[in-house]
A = this chain, B = another copy of it.
Amino acid sequence: MAVGTDLARDLAGIVGDDHVRIDEGALTAYSRDATPLFHARPQAVVLPGSTEEVAAVLRYATAHGIPVVPRGAGSNLCAGTVPLSGGIVLVLTRLDKLLEISSEELLARAQTGVTTATLASAAAAKGLLYAPDPGSHTVSTIGGNVATCAGGLRGLKYGVTRNYVLGLEAVLPTGEIIRTGGRLWKDVAGYDLTRLLTGSEGTLAVITEATVALLPAPAETGTGVAYFDTLADASRAVTAVIAAGVVPATLEFLDRKCIQAVEEFAGLGLRKDAGALLLFGDDGSADNVEDNLARIGNICQANGALEVTLAENVARAEALLAARRCSLPALSRLGSLTILEDATVPRHRMAAMVDRIDRIADQYDLRIATFGHAGDGNLHPTCVLDPDDDEGADRAHLAFAEIFAAAIELDGTITGEHGVGAAKLPYLTDRLGDDQVALLRRIKKAFDPAGILNPGKLGS
Protein backbone atom coordinates (compact mmCIF):
# COMPACT_ATOMS: atom_id res chain seq x y z
CA MET A 1 0.00 0.00 0.00
CA ALA A 2 1.04 3.58 -0.51
CA VAL A 3 2.36 5.31 2.54
CA GLY A 4 2.19 9.00 1.96
CA THR A 5 3.05 10.90 5.09
CA ASP A 6 5.85 11.07 7.65
CA LEU A 7 3.50 9.69 10.29
CA ALA A 8 2.60 6.69 8.16
CA ARG A 9 6.27 6.13 7.29
CA ASP A 10 7.29 6.21 10.93
CA LEU A 11 4.50 3.84 11.91
CA ALA A 12 5.34 1.48 9.04
CA GLY A 13 8.86 1.38 10.45
CA ILE A 14 7.35 -0.16 13.58
CA VAL A 15 4.59 -2.47 12.31
CA GLY A 16 5.52 -2.90 8.65
CA ASP A 17 4.00 -1.29 5.54
CA ASP A 18 1.15 -3.77 5.35
CA HIS A 19 -0.20 -2.83 8.74
CA VAL A 20 -0.51 0.94 8.43
CA ARG A 21 -3.48 2.35 6.54
CA ILE A 22 -4.04 5.93 5.48
CA ASP A 23 -6.35 5.26 2.57
CA GLU A 24 -9.71 6.98 2.37
CA GLY A 25 -11.63 3.76 3.01
CA ALA A 26 -9.80 2.97 6.20
CA LEU A 27 -9.86 6.52 7.57
CA THR A 28 -13.60 6.67 6.93
CA ALA A 29 -14.33 3.24 8.38
CA TYR A 30 -12.36 3.96 11.54
CA SER A 31 -14.01 7.34 12.02
CA ARG A 32 -16.91 5.57 13.65
CA ASP A 33 -17.72 2.72 15.98
CA ALA A 34 -21.17 1.20 16.64
CA THR A 35 -22.44 4.45 18.18
CA PRO A 36 -24.67 6.60 15.97
CA LEU A 37 -24.05 10.32 15.51
CA PHE A 38 -20.39 10.32 16.58
CA HIS A 39 -17.56 10.37 14.07
CA ALA A 40 -14.11 11.90 13.70
CA ARG A 41 -11.36 11.16 11.22
CA PRO A 42 -8.03 9.65 12.29
CA GLN A 43 -4.76 10.36 10.49
CA ALA A 44 -3.71 6.71 10.41
CA VAL A 45 -4.95 3.25 11.27
CA VAL A 46 -2.29 0.91 12.68
CA LEU A 47 -2.58 -2.84 13.27
CA PRO A 48 0.30 -4.00 15.49
CA GLY A 49 1.26 -7.67 15.53
CA SER A 50 2.79 -7.91 18.99
CA THR A 51 2.84 -6.33 22.42
CA GLU A 52 6.29 -4.92 21.62
CA GLU A 53 4.90 -3.20 18.54
CA VAL A 54 2.09 -1.73 20.64
CA ALA A 55 4.73 -0.41 23.04
CA ALA A 56 6.78 1.08 20.23
CA VAL A 57 3.73 2.83 18.72
CA LEU A 58 2.82 4.26 22.12
CA ARG A 59 6.35 5.48 22.83
CA TYR A 60 6.38 7.15 19.45
CA ALA A 61 2.97 8.73 20.03
CA THR A 62 3.91 10.02 23.49
CA ALA A 63 7.16 11.46 22.13
CA HIS A 64 5.29 13.28 19.36
CA GLY A 65 2.10 14.13 21.25
CA ILE A 66 -0.09 12.16 18.84
CA PRO A 67 -3.46 10.85 20.09
CA VAL A 68 -3.90 7.05 20.07
CA VAL A 69 -7.31 5.35 20.26
CA PRO A 70 -7.07 1.62 21.04
CA ARG A 71 -9.82 -0.40 19.43
CA GLY A 72 -10.96 -4.02 19.31
CA ALA A 73 -14.05 -4.72 17.20
CA GLY A 74 -15.42 -1.21 17.64
CA SER A 75 -18.76 -2.63 18.74
CA ASN A 76 -19.17 -0.29 21.71
CA LEU A 77 -22.22 1.94 21.97
CA CYS A 78 -20.72 4.95 23.78
CA ALA A 79 -18.42 6.34 21.07
CA GLY A 80 -15.57 5.00 23.18
CA THR A 81 -13.37 4.34 20.15
CA VAL A 82 -14.18 7.34 17.98
CA PRO A 83 -10.89 9.27 17.42
CA LEU A 84 -12.22 12.64 18.55
CA SER A 85 -8.83 14.33 18.30
CA GLY A 86 -7.63 12.49 15.19
CA GLY A 87 -4.28 10.75 15.46
CA ILE A 88 -3.86 6.99 15.37
CA VAL A 89 -6.53 4.32 15.66
CA LEU A 90 -4.66 1.34 17.12
CA VAL A 91 -6.60 -1.73 15.96
CA LEU A 92 -5.74 -4.77 18.08
CA THR A 93 -7.44 -7.52 16.08
CA ARG A 94 -4.17 -9.05 14.86
CA LEU A 95 -3.36 -10.01 18.47
CA ASP A 96 -5.76 -12.90 18.16
CA LYS A 97 -4.07 -15.93 19.72
CA LEU A 98 -6.02 -17.94 22.24
CA LEU A 99 -3.07 -18.88 24.45
CA GLU A 100 -4.52 -21.31 26.96
CA ILE A 101 -7.65 -22.93 28.37
CA SER A 102 -6.90 -24.69 31.66
CA SER A 103 -9.41 -27.10 33.21
CA GLU A 104 -7.02 -27.56 36.10
CA GLU A 105 -6.84 -23.88 36.95
CA LEU A 106 -10.28 -22.90 35.60
CA LEU A 107 -8.92 -20.07 33.50
CA ALA A 108 -8.33 -18.89 29.96
CA ARG A 109 -5.53 -16.71 28.69
CA ALA A 110 -5.92 -14.88 25.41
CA GLN A 111 -4.44 -12.07 23.43
CA THR A 112 -6.59 -8.99 23.42
CA GLY A 113 -8.06 -9.45 19.93
CA VAL A 114 -9.61 -12.89 20.45
CA THR A 115 -13.38 -12.61 20.18
CA THR A 116 -15.36 -13.37 23.29
CA ALA A 117 -17.32 -16.06 21.46
CA THR A 118 -14.10 -17.79 20.34
CA LEU A 119 -12.86 -17.87 23.92
CA ALA A 120 -16.25 -19.00 25.26
CA SER A 121 -16.56 -21.76 22.62
CA ALA A 122 -13.08 -23.08 23.35
CA ALA A 123 -13.97 -23.13 27.05
CA ALA A 124 -17.30 -24.85 26.34
CA ALA A 125 -15.47 -27.54 24.35
CA LYS A 126 -13.70 -28.41 27.60
CA GLY A 127 -16.89 -28.33 29.66
CA LEU A 128 -16.20 -24.84 31.01
CA LEU A 129 -18.19 -21.61 31.06
CA TYR A 130 -16.94 -18.09 30.41
CA ALA A 131 -19.82 -16.36 32.15
CA PRO A 132 -19.91 -12.79 30.77
CA ASP A 133 -22.04 -12.75 27.62
CA PRO A 134 -22.41 -9.24 26.19
CA GLY A 135 -24.82 -8.98 23.27
CA SER A 136 -21.85 -8.29 20.98
CA HIS A 137 -19.97 -11.46 22.00
CA THR A 138 -19.69 -12.92 18.51
CA VAL A 139 -17.76 -9.89 17.24
CA SER A 140 -16.44 -8.10 20.32
CA THR A 141 -12.94 -8.88 21.56
CA ILE A 142 -11.94 -10.00 25.03
CA GLY A 143 -9.69 -6.93 25.30
CA GLY A 144 -12.61 -4.69 24.40
CA ASN A 145 -14.82 -6.52 26.89
CA VAL A 146 -12.27 -5.90 29.62
CA ALA A 147 -11.72 -2.28 28.58
CA THR A 148 -15.47 -1.62 28.86
CA CYS A 149 -16.23 -4.05 31.72
CA ALA A 150 -18.84 -5.63 29.46
CA GLY A 151 -21.99 -7.01 31.05
CA GLY A 152 -24.63 -9.19 29.47
CA LEU A 153 -27.67 -11.29 30.19
CA ARG A 154 -26.22 -13.35 33.04
CA GLY A 155 -25.11 -10.41 35.22
CA LEU A 156 -27.51 -11.07 38.08
CA LYS A 157 -26.28 -14.56 38.93
CA TYR A 158 -22.78 -14.42 37.46
CA GLY A 159 -21.67 -10.80 37.62
CA VAL A 160 -19.89 -8.92 34.86
CA THR A 161 -16.47 -8.93 33.21
CA ARG A 162 -14.72 -7.42 36.25
CA ASN A 163 -15.70 -10.47 38.29
CA TYR A 164 -13.75 -12.74 35.91
CA VAL A 165 -10.56 -10.84 35.05
CA LEU A 166 -7.64 -12.37 36.93
CA GLY A 167 -4.71 -10.73 35.23
CA LEU A 168 -3.75 -8.44 32.39
CA GLU A 169 -0.80 -7.57 30.26
CA ALA A 170 -1.01 -3.91 29.33
CA VAL A 171 1.15 -1.23 27.79
CA LEU A 172 1.33 2.20 29.40
CA PRO A 173 1.09 5.23 27.09
CA THR A 174 4.77 5.83 27.83
CA GLY A 175 5.60 2.36 26.48
CA GLU A 176 6.24 0.29 29.61
CA ILE A 177 4.73 -3.21 29.51
CA ILE A 178 3.17 -4.23 32.84
CA ARG A 179 1.56 -7.46 33.99
CA THR A 180 -1.14 -7.00 36.61
CA GLY A 181 -2.66 -9.76 38.76
CA GLY A 182 -2.01 -13.22 37.38
CA ARG A 183 -3.60 -16.66 37.63
CA LEU A 184 -4.98 -16.40 41.16
CA TRP A 185 -8.32 -15.53 42.70
CA LYS A 186 -6.56 -14.36 45.81
CA ASP A 187 -3.79 -11.84 45.21
CA VAL A 188 -3.54 -8.56 47.07
CA ALA A 189 0.00 -7.55 46.12
CA GLY A 190 -0.38 -3.90 45.18
CA TYR A 191 -3.27 -1.67 44.15
CA ASP A 192 -5.88 -3.52 42.10
CA LEU A 193 -4.71 -2.35 38.67
CA THR A 194 -6.42 -5.34 37.08
CA ARG A 195 -9.82 -3.97 38.08
CA LEU A 196 -8.76 -0.33 37.54
CA LEU A 197 -7.92 -1.11 33.90
CA THR A 198 -11.17 -3.08 33.58
CA GLY A 199 -13.66 -0.45 32.45
CA SER A 200 -11.02 2.22 31.85
CA GLU A 201 -12.12 2.40 28.19
CA GLY A 202 -8.68 2.62 26.64
CA THR A 203 -7.77 5.81 28.46
CA LEU A 204 -5.14 4.48 30.91
CA ALA A 205 -3.27 1.72 29.09
CA VAL A 206 -3.61 -0.60 26.09
CA ILE A 207 -4.63 -4.11 27.15
CA THR A 208 -2.71 -6.69 25.13
CA GLU A 209 -3.53 -9.94 26.96
CA ALA A 210 -6.11 -11.08 29.50
CA THR A 211 -6.35 -14.02 31.89
CA VAL A 212 -9.96 -14.72 32.84
CA ALA A 213 -11.61 -17.12 35.24
CA LEU A 214 -13.85 -19.92 33.98
CA LEU A 215 -16.49 -21.97 35.77
CA PRO A 216 -17.55 -25.57 35.31
CA ALA A 217 -20.32 -25.45 32.72
CA PRO A 218 -23.76 -25.98 34.28
CA ALA A 219 -25.31 -29.35 33.52
CA GLU A 220 -28.69 -28.00 32.45
CA THR A 221 -30.36 -24.76 31.45
CA GLY A 222 -34.03 -23.92 31.33
CA THR A 223 -36.14 -21.00 30.19
CA GLY A 224 -39.61 -19.65 30.78
CA VAL A 225 -41.68 -16.63 29.88
CA ALA A 226 -44.37 -14.67 31.69
CA TYR A 227 -46.68 -11.95 30.39
CA PHE A 228 -48.07 -9.19 32.57
CA ASP A 229 -50.61 -6.43 32.14
CA THR A 230 -48.14 -3.82 33.28
CA LEU A 231 -44.42 -3.49 33.80
CA ALA A 232 -45.17 -2.59 37.42
CA ASP A 233 -46.60 -6.12 37.89
CA ALA A 234 -43.54 -7.65 36.21
CA SER A 235 -41.25 -5.58 38.39
CA ARG A 236 -43.06 -6.71 41.55
CA ALA A 237 -42.67 -10.32 40.40
CA VAL A 238 -38.92 -9.81 39.90
CA THR A 239 -38.56 -8.35 43.38
CA ALA A 240 -40.57 -11.24 44.83
CA VAL A 241 -38.38 -13.81 43.03
CA ILE A 242 -35.22 -12.32 44.55
CA ALA A 243 -36.84 -11.96 47.96
CA ALA A 244 -37.73 -15.68 47.80
CA GLY A 245 -34.02 -16.42 47.56
CA VAL A 246 -33.95 -17.36 43.89
CA VAL A 247 -31.21 -15.71 41.82
CA PRO A 248 -31.86 -16.92 38.26
CA ALA A 249 -29.21 -16.80 35.54
CA THR A 250 -31.44 -14.75 33.26
CA LEU A 251 -34.23 -12.30 34.02
CA GLU A 252 -34.97 -10.08 31.03
CA PHE A 253 -37.88 -7.89 30.17
CA LEU A 254 -39.53 -6.21 27.19
CA ASP A 255 -41.96 -3.35 27.59
CA ARG A 256 -45.20 -3.03 25.63
CA LYS A 257 -43.62 -1.11 22.76
CA CYS A 258 -40.86 -3.71 22.43
CA ILE A 259 -43.27 -6.63 22.44
CA GLN A 260 -45.23 -5.03 19.63
CA ALA A 261 -42.15 -4.19 17.59
CA VAL A 262 -40.72 -7.69 18.00
CA GLU A 263 -43.99 -9.36 17.10
CA GLU A 264 -44.41 -7.18 14.01
CA PHE A 265 -40.81 -7.90 13.01
CA ALA A 266 -40.50 -11.62 13.75
CA GLY A 267 -44.01 -13.01 14.20
CA LEU A 268 -43.02 -15.18 17.14
CA GLY A 269 -46.57 -15.42 18.45
CA LEU A 270 -46.03 -13.03 21.35
CA ARG A 271 -49.11 -11.67 23.15
CA LYS A 272 -49.53 -8.18 21.81
CA ASP A 273 -52.06 -7.30 24.49
CA ALA A 274 -49.45 -7.63 27.24
CA GLY A 275 -47.81 -4.63 28.91
CA ALA A 276 -44.64 -6.53 29.77
CA LEU A 277 -42.88 -9.76 28.96
CA LEU A 278 -40.53 -11.34 31.44
CA LEU A 279 -38.08 -13.93 30.20
CA PHE A 280 -36.45 -16.03 32.91
CA GLY A 281 -33.88 -18.76 32.82
CA ASP A 282 -31.67 -20.70 35.13
CA ASP A 283 -28.83 -23.19 34.93
CA GLY A 284 -27.29 -25.77 37.23
CA SER A 285 -28.27 -29.31 38.13
CA ALA A 286 -31.42 -30.58 36.40
CA ASP A 287 -33.34 -30.70 39.71
CA ASN A 288 -32.37 -27.19 40.70
CA VAL A 289 -33.26 -25.75 37.31
CA GLU A 290 -36.65 -27.45 37.37
CA ASP A 291 -37.32 -26.31 40.96
CA ASN A 292 -36.24 -22.75 40.34
CA LEU A 293 -38.21 -22.34 37.11
CA ALA A 294 -41.31 -23.72 38.81
CA ARG A 295 -40.84 -21.34 41.74
CA ILE A 296 -40.32 -18.36 39.45
CA GLY A 297 -43.39 -19.33 37.45
CA ASN A 298 -45.48 -19.57 40.61
CA ILE A 299 -44.23 -16.24 41.89
CA CYS A 300 -45.08 -14.62 38.57
CA GLN A 301 -48.58 -16.05 38.76
CA ALA A 302 -48.98 -14.87 42.35
CA ASN A 303 -48.01 -11.41 41.12
CA GLY A 304 -50.66 -11.20 38.46
CA ALA A 305 -49.04 -12.80 35.40
CA LEU A 306 -51.46 -13.14 32.50
CA GLU A 307 -49.73 -16.31 31.38
CA VAL A 308 -46.62 -18.31 32.27
CA THR A 309 -44.94 -20.82 29.95
CA LEU A 310 -41.96 -23.01 30.74
CA ALA A 311 -40.03 -24.20 27.69
CA GLU A 312 -40.29 -27.98 27.52
CA ASN A 313 -37.15 -28.34 25.44
CA VAL A 314 -34.12 -26.52 24.10
CA ALA A 315 -35.76 -25.62 20.78
CA ARG A 316 -38.69 -24.03 22.60
CA ALA A 317 -36.30 -22.20 24.93
CA GLU A 318 -34.44 -20.81 21.91
CA ALA A 319 -37.75 -19.60 20.50
CA LEU A 320 -38.51 -17.75 23.74
CA LEU A 321 -35.04 -16.23 23.87
CA ALA A 322 -35.50 -15.04 20.28
CA ALA A 323 -37.96 -12.44 21.57
CA ARG A 324 -35.20 -10.82 23.61
CA ARG A 325 -32.59 -11.18 20.90
CA CYS A 326 -34.91 -9.61 18.33
CA SER A 327 -35.56 -6.51 20.39
CA LEU A 328 -32.82 -4.37 18.94
CA PRO A 329 -33.23 -5.40 15.28
CA ALA A 330 -37.01 -5.10 15.60
CA LEU A 331 -36.73 -1.58 16.98
CA SER A 332 -34.00 -0.62 14.50
CA ARG A 333 -36.37 -1.41 11.66
CA LEU A 334 -38.71 1.35 12.83
CA GLY A 335 -36.21 4.06 12.00
CA SER A 336 -32.75 3.63 10.66
CA LEU A 337 -31.14 5.68 13.44
CA THR A 338 -31.27 3.73 16.69
CA ILE A 339 -29.94 5.21 19.91
CA LEU A 340 -29.55 2.44 22.46
CA GLU A 341 -28.88 3.59 26.01
CA ASP A 342 -28.35 1.79 29.31
CA ALA A 343 -29.43 3.82 32.29
CA THR A 344 -29.53 1.50 35.29
CA VAL A 345 -31.48 1.60 38.56
CA PRO A 346 -31.98 -0.71 41.56
CA ARG A 347 -34.16 -3.51 40.28
CA HIS A 348 -37.22 -2.68 42.39
CA ARG A 349 -37.25 0.76 40.74
CA MET A 350 -37.34 -0.60 37.21
CA ALA A 351 -41.04 0.06 36.68
CA ALA A 352 -40.76 3.57 38.11
CA MET A 353 -37.84 4.24 35.77
CA VAL A 354 -39.62 2.93 32.67
CA ASP A 355 -42.58 5.08 33.62
CA ARG A 356 -40.26 8.11 33.73
CA ILE A 357 -38.77 7.12 30.38
CA ASP A 358 -42.23 6.85 28.81
CA ARG A 359 -43.25 10.26 30.10
CA ILE A 360 -40.02 11.84 28.88
CA ALA A 361 -40.50 10.21 25.46
CA ASP A 362 -44.04 11.63 25.24
CA GLN A 363 -42.86 15.05 26.31
CA TYR A 364 -40.23 15.14 23.56
CA ASP A 365 -42.47 13.38 21.01
CA LEU A 366 -40.03 10.47 20.56
CA ARG A 367 -40.39 6.73 20.03
CA ILE A 368 -38.51 5.20 22.93
CA ALA A 369 -39.09 1.53 23.74
CA THR A 370 -37.34 -0.17 26.64
CA PHE A 371 -36.02 -3.67 27.13
CA GLY A 372 -33.21 -4.93 29.31
CA HIS A 373 -31.94 -6.88 32.24
CA ALA A 374 -34.69 -6.87 34.87
CA GLY A 375 -32.54 -8.81 37.32
CA ASP A 376 -29.98 -6.09 37.66
CA GLY A 377 -32.06 -3.05 36.77
CA ASN A 378 -30.03 -2.49 33.61
CA LEU A 379 -32.45 -0.83 31.18
CA HIS A 380 -31.92 -0.26 27.49
CA PRO A 381 -34.23 2.57 26.47
CA THR A 382 -33.97 2.65 22.69
CA CYS A 383 -34.91 5.65 20.61
CA VAL A 384 -35.62 5.19 16.92
CA LEU A 385 -35.34 8.11 14.54
CA ASP A 386 -35.05 8.98 10.92
CA PRO A 387 -31.34 9.72 10.37
CA ASP A 388 -32.18 12.88 8.41
CA ASP A 389 -34.27 14.23 11.27
CA ASP A 390 -31.70 16.55 12.84
CA GLU A 391 -34.32 18.20 14.94
CA GLY A 392 -35.43 14.78 16.22
CA ALA A 393 -31.84 13.97 17.16
CA ASP A 394 -31.68 17.20 19.15
CA ARG A 395 -34.86 16.25 20.98
CA ALA A 396 -33.46 12.77 21.66
CA HIS A 397 -30.36 14.38 23.12
CA LEU A 398 -32.47 16.45 25.51
CA ALA A 399 -34.65 13.46 26.38
CA PHE A 400 -31.67 11.25 27.26
CA ALA A 401 -30.22 13.99 29.45
CA GLU A 402 -33.48 13.84 31.42
CA ILE A 403 -33.43 10.03 31.45
CA PHE A 404 -29.91 10.00 32.92
CA ALA A 405 -30.94 12.57 35.53
CA ALA A 406 -33.93 10.40 36.45
CA ALA A 407 -31.72 7.33 36.81
CA ILE A 408 -29.35 9.19 39.16
CA GLU A 409 -32.34 10.47 41.17
CA LEU A 410 -33.51 6.84 41.59
CA ASP A 411 -30.10 5.74 43.05
CA GLY A 412 -29.01 4.53 39.64
CA THR A 413 -26.35 5.33 37.11
CA ILE A 414 -25.90 6.78 33.62
CA THR A 415 -24.40 3.57 32.24
CA GLY A 416 -24.66 0.01 33.49
CA GLU A 417 -22.60 -1.78 30.87
CA HIS A 418 -22.09 0.27 27.71
CA GLY A 419 -19.52 2.68 29.08
CA VAL A 420 -19.03 6.44 29.24
CA GLY A 421 -16.98 7.07 26.12
CA ALA A 422 -17.70 10.38 24.44
CA ALA A 423 -21.46 9.81 24.56
CA LYS A 424 -21.93 9.96 28.32
CA LEU A 425 -18.98 12.08 29.37
CA PRO A 426 -21.18 15.22 29.60
CA TYR A 427 -23.23 13.47 32.32
CA LEU A 428 -20.37 12.01 34.35
CA THR A 429 -20.07 14.89 36.80
CA ASP A 430 -23.79 14.62 37.58
CA ARG A 431 -23.19 11.02 38.60
CA LEU A 432 -19.83 11.28 40.37
CA GLY A 433 -19.52 14.88 41.54
CA ASP A 434 -16.76 17.40 40.85
CA ASP A 435 -14.31 16.01 43.41
CA GLN A 436 -14.42 12.48 42.01
CA VAL A 437 -14.13 13.65 38.40
CA ALA A 438 -11.09 15.73 39.39
CA LEU A 439 -9.62 12.59 40.99
CA LEU A 440 -10.24 10.56 37.79
CA ARG A 441 -8.26 13.22 35.91
CA ARG A 442 -5.34 12.95 38.33
CA ILE A 443 -5.38 9.14 37.97
CA LYS A 444 -5.43 9.51 34.18
CA LYS A 445 -2.37 11.77 34.44
CA ALA A 446 -0.56 9.19 36.59
CA PHE A 447 -0.86 6.75 33.67
CA ASP A 448 -0.73 9.12 30.72
CA PRO A 449 1.25 12.29 31.46
CA ALA A 450 1.13 13.45 27.81
CA GLY A 451 -2.61 12.81 27.53
CA ILE A 452 -2.27 10.87 24.26
CA LEU A 453 -4.47 7.89 25.07
CA ASN A 454 -8.06 8.20 23.84
CA PRO A 455 -8.42 11.93 24.52
CA GLY A 456 -11.89 13.38 25.04
CA LYS A 457 -13.07 10.31 26.94
CA LEU A 458 -12.84 9.22 30.63
CA GLY A 459 -10.26 11.19 32.58
CA SER A 460 -10.28 14.09 30.10
Contact = CB atoms under 8 A, between A and B. Distances in A.
A159 interface: yes
Contacts of A105: 346-348
A122 interface: no
A296 interface: no
Interface string A414-446: 111111100010001001110111011011011
Nearest to A201: B188
A336 interface: no
A139 B127 CA distance: 41
A435 to B, nearest CB: 4
A447 to B, nearest CB: 7
A182 interface: yes
B184 A156 contact: no
Contact of A196 (B182, B196, B420): B196
B178 A188 contact: no
A319 interface: no
B190 A436 contact: yes
Copy number in this complex?
Answer: 2
B376 A184 contact: yes
A85 to B, nearest CB: 20
B344 A187 contact: yes
A230 to B, nearest CB: 19
A93 interface: no
Of A180, A217, A424, A432, most B-chain CB atoms within 10 Å: A432
A192 B180 CA distance: 15
A155 interface: yes
Contacts of A418: 188
Interface string A346-373: 1110000000000000000000000001
Contacts of A411: 182-183
A447 B415 CA distance: 25
A430 to B, nearest CB: 10
A109 to B, nearest CB: 11
A167 B200 CA distance: 17
Interface stretch (A240-248, A256-264, A272-280): A240-248
Contacts of A447: 439, 442
Given A188-B149, A446-B442, A217 B195 contact: no
Contact of A446 (B127, B177, B347, B439): B439
A168 to B, nearest CB: 11
Of A187, A242, A412, A435, most B-chain CB atoms within 10 Å: A187
A344 B186 CA distance: 8
Contacts of A204: 191
A181 B89 CA distance: 31
Contacts of A163: 159, 163
A251 to B, nearest CB: 12
A198 to B, nearest CB: 6
A18 interface: no
B186 A417 contact: yes
A104 interface: yes
A458 interface: yes
B243 A103 contact: yes
A215 interface: yes
A265 to B, nearest CB: 27
A99 interface: no
B186 A191 contact: no
Of A346, A412, A436, most B-chain CB atoms within 10 Å: A436
A147 to B, nearest CB: 10
A127 to B, nearest CB: 6
5 contacts: A127-B245, A178-B436, A184-B377, A186-B417, A216-B247
Interface of A: 103-106, 127, 148-149, 151, 155-156, 159-160, 162-163, 172, 176-180, 182-193, 195-196, 198-200, 204, 215-217, 239, 242-243, 245-247, 284-285, 287-288, 291, 344-348, 373, 376-378, 411-420, 424, 428, 431-433, 435-437, 439-440, 442-443, 445-447, 458-459
Given A184-B412, A190-B436, A190-B440, 6 more contacts: A103-B243, A106-B242, A149-B192, A176-B435, A193-B439, A443-B446
